[in-house]
Amino acid sequence: METVEKVEDGIIKIMAKKRSGSKSAEGVALQRLRESVRQESERICYDPYAVHFISPDVLKFIHKNPDLIKAETDRYERFLPGLFNSLIARVRYFDDIVESVPKPSDEFKVQNH
Each domain of the chain, given as residue ranges in start order, spans 4-99
Provide mean pLDDT across the span 80-100: 92
Using an 8 Å Cβ cutoff, are 77 and 88 in contact? Answer: no
Instruction: Spell out the long-range contacts of 38-41 with Cβ–Cβ below 8 A and sequence spacing 24 or more.
Output: none
- Rounded to whole angstroms, how far apart are CA atoms 56 and 50? 12
Provide mean pLDDT across the span 1-29: 66
- Rounded to whole angstroms, how far apart are CA atoms 87 and 50? 14
Using an 8 Å Cβ cutoff, are 84 and 57 in contact? Answer: no
Tally of CB atoms within 10 A around 61 = 18
Per-residue model confidence (pLDDT) at position 52? 93
pLDDT digits (tens, 9 = 90+) for 22-78: 788 888 999 999 999 999 999 999 999 999 999 998 999 999 999 998 898 899 899
